[in-house]
Every structure is written in structure tokens, then in C-alpha cells.
Structure 1
Amino acid sequence: MKYNPKNERIKREYCEFKKEADCKDDKTIEAMRSAIVRFEQFTGFKDFATFNRNQATGFKNHIAITKSKKGDVLSIATQLTVLNNVQIFLRWLAAQKGFKSKIPKDDIAFFNLTDKQQRAAKSSKSMDFPTIEQIRHVLSNMPHETEVEKRDRAIIAFTILTAARVSAIATFKMKHFDPSRQLIIQDPREVDTKFSKLIETFLVNVGDDILQIFREWVEYLRNEKLFGANDPLFPKSFNVHDENACFVVGGLSRQHWANSAPIREIFKKAFQNAGLKYYNPHSFRHTLVHDAMQKGANVEELKALSQNLGHEHLLTTLTSYGNITPHRQSELIKGMGRRKDDGLLLQISHLISSYNRI
């Protein structure tokens, strides 16, 4: 049995509730639905009304040995996400008419991982990301004769200038860039931003050479391609037939990409051609934050960068992208006692002097 009609009706109602009442986006709802389907597959698509603690513990043990598409056992973080999504669903179902007496609420807690496992799932691992110089090396090795090559190079330059999410990059229009203010307006009504936030992103100063690549691209679209305000900032390419009736890239269209997959391929190809390991677009967010920290950015500057990334709180930026590598941690610890010009030490010294004069 590949599905249960009763369960399908309940899942539709739940997904509608999460979208319309709980205001969740489609990606979040799909992740929830997928977790519920995993649980159904484990139980053999039994009615949700038959839920009990044995199903909970059995599924928890099953998910612990389940392998991903890559052949690896699911990470503890993924396990936690799946189990939490199933728990949230069952708690909702237990409050619905006809299920209040059928689903034991205490049994839902049997999905819980141990405290140690939950801490491991929520801990952040060291993230590998490219340096500004590596990105500059990639850009310098990218061909830029054809309009498609110009676009590809501009996308990578733009990503380090803004650290915009790849889903947003695929949906930007020309009008979302204000050249006079060097500002990218991520309008959620037209741009696919996380949590549908309005984000104002100013181009970060990572070098005039990188900025020039993006500027020339915008000028090319406006002056050569005659793109207007509602045309895509990074248009998809179109294919034509060559003399052998094979598809080849013919040029740029005036359409947006349907998804972000082509952008990831551009990154992969560019890094490989430059002789470097592949870094995905999202890793550039780590690059910008770490570059700012290493340059000694103050709290106000870090807060500005945090807002550039679309974060309401600086702590979100630091915990998500500011983890220090073990090597850098070692350097900082070793240098703590040798920094005679440290601003904080000077302040402490002045305070001590003032105190002694009292």
C-alpha cells in the first residue's frame, strides 16, 4: 500500500493549516510533509489514529540508521528535524475533532532524542568557505567574451558583493538595483527572500575590481541589451541548434531562471576551471562575515553587515556565520597577551589610572 486515503485527507488539511493559519512558506511545508511521509512509510501507512509510543520509538530507531541519497546515514541534525516535524503534526492532530481520545499526547514525547543528541544536533560545525583572494582568482580565470560568460562572471562578483541567497539572485530584476546608492532592494513581493523579508543590501567593499565586474554587467544590460526595469538582473540563457542539430547556448533571454540550480552549476564550473575545490554560493556569506571580523570591524559595522544579510539580530549572524576556525582560534588565543595596543586594554588602563588618582 503506497498511501492511505484517510491520511491523505488529514495531511491536506494540515498543510492548508500551516500555510494559511501558521503562515509557513511552501519549502517549509514540503519539508514537514516529507517527514510525515517518512513516518507513514515506516508504519506501513497505518491510520494516524493508531499512533502509539511503540511507533514513536520504532521510527526514532529507524531514522537513526536511514541513509541519505548520498549513501550516508542521516545526520543527527536531520534526524532531529524529521522527528520534530512529525511531533508537531501529531500534536496538531491530537487536538482535532475525532482524534483527541485516540492519540495519547504523552506518547508523542517518545520521539524525543536524548539531551546529548539534541545538543549535538544543534551544535554548529566548522564551515569551509573561500577567501576573498580565492574568489578574485576564480573571477580572473573566468572567460568574459560572450554575453553568457559576462553574466556568469557577474553572478559570482555580485554574490560576494552582497552575499545574497541564491534563490534571491535568481529572481532579482533590474529595478532592484539602485546604482546611485549602491543598493540592492530585496523586495519579497518579487524576490524570493527567506521568510519573505524586505532586505536592503548595500554592496560591500571587497575591491574595486570586483565591483567593476558587476557595474559593467549592469551597463551592458542597459546599454547593449536595452533591458528595462522589469527584466531580470541575471537572465537565463536560451538554446539553439547547431549544424549537427545539437542544442548549444544561443544567448540570453529576458526570462528568469525557474530555480537556482543553474547558478550553482555556474559556481561549480568556475571553481573547477580555476583549479579550486567547489564552494557553493551560500558559503560566500561566511566569507564576508569572517573577512569583516579579521579586519577588526567594530560592533556597529558588524551590525550593519548583519542587516545586509537580512538578520534582525547580530547574534544570528555571529552564531550562523561567525564561528572561528581552530587555526584562527589558536592565533587569537596566542596573541591575547601580546596586544599592547588593544583598545579594551587601553580603556582598562585609563580606568585604573583614574581610580588611583581618587
Structure 2
Amino acid sequence: MTKPNAENERQKRAYFAYLREAHGRDNATIDRVAASLARFEASTRARGFRRFHREQAVAFKAKLSEAINSRTGERLSKATLLSTLRDLRAFFLWLAQEPGYRSKIAFSDADYFNLSDKDVAIARASRKANPPTLEQMRRVLEAMPIATVWERRDRALVAFACLTSARAAALASFRLGHVNVSEGVVEQDARTVRTKFAKTFRTDFHRLVPGAAEIVANWCAELVRDHAWGPDDPLFPQSHMGLAADGGFTPIGLARKGWASSQPVRDAFKRAYAAADLPYKKPHLMRDMLVHSYMSMDLTPAQLKAVSQSLGHSDVLTTFTSYGQLPTHRQSELIRSIAERPAAGAADPWSDLEAAFARVRAGRE
């Protein structure tokens, strides 16, 4: 194992503080940057950053393109390459301005971390979303067991995701007081809910999956009635662990604290799909499911804006470009439907064009 370079470590700490305090980056982003820098240092055997040269960037880029993902056994994706190399370019651009490095590192050297235009296009290419259908989610909710309080919690979690399309991090951090069951709204308050970009907004219940609203209402009532939960208690609490008869740990109740990460949310979804004998779908695909469902309806512009705001988007285009990608089979159906529409008095396009020119000439005269 390569011995850490003390000077490099000092500069990295300074850069992490810069990202956190000057740019407001969160810990997850800083951890990703740290991993990118660790990859680079491993390739140079912790050579001092003062000795950085464009040749190191070129060599690292070539090595990274051949690296294998330990989880999949395949080469790293273009998206991973792009993210890693952008982290490194940003770091060395910052370092080139620091005292003691200005005469050592040229700004242009950092540009050698750039990927080719072709690889950038591949990395940015959108992938076809394959969200569940409303009928599949109805089936999932019906198949989930409810014998224990933990099973009812998990079912309420999936039902709540169907109603709100909230992100996994937000689902893990909601409190009971954020939900108004009678009005069918959820306040995504960034002071206590882990929303994207710390944005605060209201989400209305999207009552598209049958039974979801009733499941959530029953769960909220159970928390208050059977567990004396208040507004500040977690909506989806951790399991309280205790000792089993065999000396191992086992759930014995609900803890008065929420999940620290979104992993338990994904785990609950995996169990839910398994119970319904369906392939696993990420919680985030609830957003695609909702938008696809609304796209099949004849909504007014005001209704489309309401849907967009309910998802936390400032712009309607964000909603429908990010989550409104049509499945390929639906794309083909719509194209065929255009061709099958009856022609309303087929016109000669050339005669129309000649008439337009005639109007222009008449206007000039």
C-alpha cells in the first residue's frame, strides 16, 4: 500500500473545506471527490501534487478507461469516467491558484483530464426509464404482508411513495407532522426533510394507485393511537432492536428516530416487489410512473404546472424532459396513430406554397 503524502493530504483537506464552506457542497459530494483524488494518487504512487504534469493526466485517463468495476466485473461506465475526471480537473484548477503552486501547475494542464466529445456524449446519454405501472403498484401493495408493525410500516412507505413520488432521502426523513391526511398534502420542509438542493415545497397526494391513500391514513392513525406518536416523531421509524431467546438481535418495536440513510427505503422496496413476484424497481421510478400516467391524460396547462410544482420543480419543462421520456413502444404507437388519422381534405402542399408567395407579392405591391 502506498504511503500517504503529507503535503498532498494538507492540500486535500484545504480543498474539501473550500468545497464545503465556499460552495456549500454536502458530505456525499466531498466523499466522491476524495475517492476521485485517491484513484489519481494510487496511479502516481502518491507523487506530490507540486510535480503534477499533463502527462500524468493523460496516463491516468488511459488507465481509468481500462479499470474494472469490482461489482459488475465490467469496465467503468463513461458516466463514472466523466465524474471522476471532472473532479480532478476542478481540483487542479483550484490548486493552480494556491500559493506555492502557481508557478508549478499550468491551468491548461488540468484540461488534459477532459474526455473526448464522443465519450462525453455517451456519458450524458439518457437511459430509457422502465417505471412500474399503476396496476403493478396496486398488486405490490396488495401482496405486501401486514402481520407485524414493521411490515405495516414498509407497506405504508411504498404507498406513500406512490402518493407523493418523494425521493428516497426525503422518504427516510419525513416526520408525522409533515403529513396532513385530511387535506391530502405533505410539507417537504428542507429544515427537517432531506430534499434535493434543500428546497422547501408542498406535495399533494397523487391518488393514482388504488388503496394507497387509505394505507397511509391507517398508518398515521396507528402511530398516534398505538404508539403515542407526535408531530415531531418519524413517519417511518427505525426498528427497535432487542435480544431474542437465542441471544441474537431481533426487532421488538419501533424506535423514535428515523433512518439515517435512504438504504432502508430501497431495502423495503426490494421486499415489496419480491412479495408480488415482480422485478425490483428503484423508488425514484415512482416519479417516472406518475409523470407517464399524467401524460396519458388530457390535462390543462394549469394542471400540468400543478403536477410540476408538486414534484418540486420550478419549470414544467424540467418535469417532462426529466421524467416524461416515452417508452419506445409508446413512441411507436403514437407515430402510427398519426398516420392512421383520417385526412381532413388532403391539400396540395405546392399549391398552398404558391398561394403564400402570391400573398407576399400582393403585399409588396
TM-score of the superposition, structure 2-length normalised?
0.89
Pick aligned residue for 1:75 from 77, 81, 100: 77
User: What SS class does the counterpart of residue 59 from structure 1 fall into?
Assistant: helix
* AA in 1 matched with 2:15: Y
Counterparts of 1:1-358 in structure 2 under 5 Å? 1-70=2-71, 71-339=73-341
Once the two structures are overlaid, the 10-residue window that deviates more, 165-174 or 23-32, is 23-32
Distance between the aligned counterparts of 1:287 and 1:261, measured in 2?
21
Share of identical aligned residues, percent?
Answer: 40
Aligned to 2:347: none
Once the two structures are overlaid, the 10-residue window that deviates more, 156-165 or 141-150, is 141-150
Q: Is the 8 A contact 1:25 1:195 kept in 2?
A: no
Distance between the aligned counterparts of 2:172 and 2:309, measured in 1?
21
1:49-108, Cα deviation, whole Å (9 max, x unpaired): 111111111111111111223122111111111111110111111111111111111121
Distance between the aligned counterparts of 2:301 and 2:97, measured in 1?
46
Offset of 1:298 from its aligned partner?
Answer: 4.1
Distance between the aligned counterparts of 1:228 and 1:340, measured in 2?
61
Offset of 1:340 from its aligned partner?
Answer: 6.3
Distance between the aligned counterparts of 1:200 and 1:2, measured in 2?
51
Distance between the aligned counterparts of 1:186 and 1:175, measured in 2?
11
1:115-164, Cα deviation, whole Å (9 max, x unpaired): 11111111101022211111110110111122111111000000011111
User: What SS class does the counterpart of residue 202 from structure 2 fall into?
Assistant: strand
Offset of 1:208 from its aligned partner?
Answer: 4.7
Aligned to 1:346: none
Distance between the aligned counterparts of 2:49 and 2:195, measured in 1?
35
Distance between the aligned counterparts of 1:60 and 1:207, measured in 2?
47
Consecutive aligned runs of 4 or more in structure 1 exceeding 4 Å deviation: 339-342
Distance between the aligned counterparts of 1:23 and 1:72, measured in 2?
34
User: What SS class does the counterpart of residue 239 from structure 1 fall into?
Assistant: strand
User: What SS class does the counterpart of residue 253 from structure 1 fall into?
Assistant: strand
User: What SS class does the counterpart of residue 251 from structure 1 fall into?
Assistant: strand
User: What SS class does the counterpart of residue 279 from structure 1 fall into?
Assistant: coil
Unaligned stretches of 5+ residues in structure 2: 345-355, 357-365
User: What SS class does the counterpart of residue 300 from structure 1 fall into?
Assistant: helix
Distance between the aligned counterparts of 2:197 and 2:228, measured in 1?
33
Distance between the aligned counterparts of 1:63 and 1:309, measured in 2?
37
Aligned in 2, Cα 1:214/1:332: closer, same or farther, shift over 3 Å?
same
Aligned in 2, Cα 1:269/1:6: closer, same or farther, shift over 3 Å?
same
Distance between the aligned counterparts of 1:29 and 1:84, measured in 2?
13
Offset of 1:292 from its aligned partner?
Answer: 1.1
Offset of 1:179 from its aligned partner?
Answer: 2.6
User: What SS class does the counterpart of residue 240 from structure 2 fall into?
Assistant: strand
Distance between the aligned counterparts of 1:306 and 1:2, measured in 2?
51
TM-score of the superposition, structure 1-length normalised?
0.91
Offset of 1:239 from its aligned partner?
Answer: 2.1
Bigger radius of gyration: 2
Question: What is the CA RMSD across the aligned residues, in angstroms?
Answer: 1.9
Distance between the aligned counterparts of 1:148 and 1:211, measured in 2?
19
Offset of 1:341 from its aligned partner?
Answer: 12
Offset of 1:199 from its aligned partner?
Answer: 2.3
* AA in 2 matched with 1:43: T
